[in-house]
Chain A
Amino acid sequence: MKKLLLALATSAAMLGFAASASAQDKTKICFIYVGSKTDGGWTQAHDIGRQALQDHFGDKIETPFLESVPEGPDAERAIERMARSGCALVFTTSFGFMDATIKVAEKFPDVKFEHATGFKSAANVATYNSRFYEGRYIQGQIAAKMSEKGVAGYIASFPIPEVVMGINAFVHGAQSVNPDFKVKVIWANTWFDPGKEADAAKALIDQGVDILTQHTDTTAPMQVAAERGIKAFGQASDMIKAGPETQLTAIVDTWGAYYIKRTEQLLDGTWKSEQVWDGLKDGILTMAPYTNMPDDVKKMAEDTEAKIRSGELHPFTGPIKKQDGSDWLADGEKPEDKVLLGMNFYIAGVDDKLPQ
């Protein structure tokens, strides 16, 4: 009996040793997702990035992830669990994880964190974001060309700067083509509820919009647009499968290159806390193929995209007035990134009252 116990104890110790050894061989790069990794939108785009990262480094790293983590107290627990499990770098991929990330990072100074789309950072917390508004400006221009009624519908999630900035960019783009263009906004107050997103799409179409765009995560609005025979834009991932004859283009998030770059820096010891905000020219954001539109509209979209890439055009270039009529940008003036990232006002032309 004693012998058996001893044998058990030894093998247990050996197992433990083996486990810790293999854990040291592989660097753990961890991910926290707000949705399911197959949501067809935001989280799926991050997961494609994670897979690209895993493929790039192969056996050198592990990339565990937690999906469908609700924003709120649960997020803090989930991030802490990751940090405790030996992750060297944790990507928290939703705006609502901001405070939780900062809190956990204070407790684990040796672990590096990267928070997507937020504005709070620390010595071990970097932020990264994509200039989605560049894509939304192009969408606005296409909408103004394609809409017969001159009204587009916009399904928004929560009134945070990121989303407000998107609406402003869309409207500004549309009005650069048709100064009278209008946008109706519905705040779904959710990122992810196919039924509610579909209901919002139906409400907008019933009220006469003939182009739909969304800042929520599922393909339900695209599907409603297809059913009702109007055109729509995809969000975060290419949603062409949900509307082969409906999608005009989509803003596609391509995080993989960024994840690879930062992991490389972590491995060779040059990782620093930075506030990265890349756009079309850096490849973190791409436009899905321009489809279901005449050649002249397609050409306009491609020209605009090229101008934004080359830096010739900033989507927010003055003169732009705020919704209340006061001046925001003078002729030719461009906003500072800081102003955009904290955007809490509409520009002139948005037909909605911003929830405060």
Chain B
Amino acid sequence: MGIVEAILLTVITAATPLVLAALGELVTERAGVLNLGVEGMMIMGAVLAFAATHATGSPYLGILAGIGGGALFSLLFGFLTLTLVANQVATGLALTILGLGISGQIGEAYVGMSGTKLPQIAIPLLSDIPFVGPLLFRQDLIFYLSIALVIGVNWFLFKSRTGLKIRAIGDNHASAHALGIGVIRIRYLAVMFGGACAGLAGAQLSLVYTPQWVENMSAGRGWIALALVVFASWRPWRVLAGGYLFGAVSISQLHAQALGLGIPSQFLSALPYAATVVVLVLISHNRRTTLINTPASLGKPFVPDR
């Protein structure tokens, strides 16, 4: 295996959880709901996936537990902000803090245990293609899911009827409500999709990235995912590109250090974030396209008039 291939493999592992969590949040935000609890849902997914894998011996049941746990946990956010109309920003922050706390409690029994790594699935024929094969077609289930989800969400949001409804709600919930669209119901589903994706991202952390449970192991990746959604101006393909760009810069800075190029490591560590800022400036200089993509009702509470 060549060095380029090795680097790319590491990049894929680092980028997948970011892409997944950002993709879920993208759908939630497209429906006009700002859920800052991504970090909390992610860490819940991580601990539940690890616990379920440990209990059943099957990492696939672990993935299910991560997805289900993330979705259930996001329901709490949904109930507070959609039914009780609590402030979304405050509730999202609370969800993150709560998730970090609860996951620490659940996970106490699993600290120091070696986990089960999610096995790789080689796709026949395709995995034999030189270079591309081992990179893209000899991966684990969560990687395949992440790519499928990007394609699926892109189609769903921009080509399907329900996708149109979601975007309509995100842009103007009052008009959507007047048209007879069930704003609250669809927002609940969007929030749960976001939670499920964050949970899946968490499962990737504790089953693929570092197959073990460590408290706070998401280490801020939920926040990076949130930034990625804005970075991608709420477009699925750009989430994929952004996640991989961020991953690529983070991994290549480690390699630059190991090569002893003599570039200050603090500068290199800041590079992924600097790259994010630069791209944000570049894509947001056109105000009109930015406005078109931004869900206009984002973060605003909705109370249907009865």
Contacts and interface: CB of A to CB of B under 8 A. Distances in A.
A240 B144 CA distance: 33
Interface of A: 35-36, 38-40, 68, 153, 159, 184-190, 192-196, 198-200, 202-204, 206-207, 218-220, 223, 227, 241-242, 351-353, 355-356
B209 A351 contact: no
A200 B10 CA distance: 10
A147 to B, nearest CB: 16
Contacts of A200: 254
B265 A189 contact: yes
Given A187-B257, A202-B10, A206-B10, A194 B112 contact: no
27 contacts: A36-B104, A38-B111, A68-B215, A153-B258, A184-B258, A184-B260, A189-B269, A192-B216, A192-B219, A193-B219, A194-B205, A194-B209, A194-B212, A195-B209, A196-B250, A202-B6, A202-B10, A203-B257, A203-B258, A206-B10, A219-B212, A223-B114, A227-B117, A242-B112, A351-B260, A352-B257, A356-B264
Contact of B251 (A187, A199, A219): A199
A190 B220 CA distance: 12
Contact of A195 (B205, B255, B258, B262): B205
Given A186-B258, A187-B257, A206-B7, A195 B219 contact: yes
Nearest to A243: B114
Nearest to B109: A38
Contacts of B114: 223, 241-242
Question: B6, B220, B258, B269: which has the most chain A beta carbons within 10 Å?
Answer: B258
Contacts of A40: 111-112, 214
Chain A to chain B: the 10 pairs with minimum beta-carbon distance, closest first: A187-B265, A36-B215, A206-B6, A38-B111, A203-B254, A193-B219, A353-B262, A189-B269, A194-B210, A220-B210
Interface in B181-229: 205, 209-212, 214-217, 219-221
B147 interface: no
Given A207-B255, A353-B262, A198 B209 contact: yes
Interface in B1-52: 3, 6-7, 10, 13-14
Nearest to B259: A207
Interface residues of B, number: 39
Nearest to B220: A193
A185 B104 contact: no
Question: B10, B13, B114, B257: which has the most chain A beta carbons within 10 Å?
Answer: B257
B255 A203 contact: yes
B51 to A, nearest CB: 15
A207 B258 contact: yes
B218 to A, nearest CB: 8
A59 to B, nearest CB: 25
B266 interface: yes
Given A40-B111, A356-B264, A194 B217 contact: yes
B43 to A, nearest CB: 12
Given A241-B113, A352-B257, 12 more contacts: A38-B108, A38-B215, A153-B258, A185-B260, A186-B257, A194-B214, A198-B209, A220-B214, A227-B117, A241-B112, A242-B114, A355-B264
Contacts of B14: 195, 199
A5 B242 CA distance: 64
Contacts of B257: 185-187, 203, 352
A52 B59 CA distance: 37
Contacts of A199: 10, 13-14, 250-251, 254
Interface of B: 3, 6-7, 10, 13-14, 104, 107-108, 111-114, 117, 205, 209-212, 214-217, 219-221, 250-251, 254-255, 257-260, 262, 264-266, 269
Given A189-B265, A199-B250, A204 B211 contact: no
A204 B258 contact: yes
Contacts of A206: 3, 6-7, 10, 255
B210 A195 contact: yes
A355 B260 contact: no
Contacts of B254: 186, 199-200, 203
A195 B7 CA distance: 15
Given A195-B14, A199-B251, A203-B10, A218 B214 contact: yes
A312 B216 CA distance: 43
Contacts of B112: 38, 40, 219, 241-242
Contacts of B220: 193
A38 B111 CA distance: 6
Contacts of A227: 117
A68 B216 contact: yes
B215 A39 contact: yes
Contacts of B13: 199
A241 B258 CA distance: 27
Contacts of A204: 258
B111 A355 contact: no
B181 to A, nearest CB: 40
Nearest to B221: A195
A39 B259 CA distance: 30
A351 B262 CA distance: 10
A219 B212 CA distance: 9
Nearest to B267: A355
A153 to B, nearest CB: 7
Contacts of A188: 269
Contact of B269 (A39, A187, A195): A187
Contacts of A153: 258
Given A36-B104, A193-B219, A203-B255, A223 B212 contact: yes
B210 A223 contact: yes
Contacts of A207: 3, 255, 258-259
Contacts of B221: 195
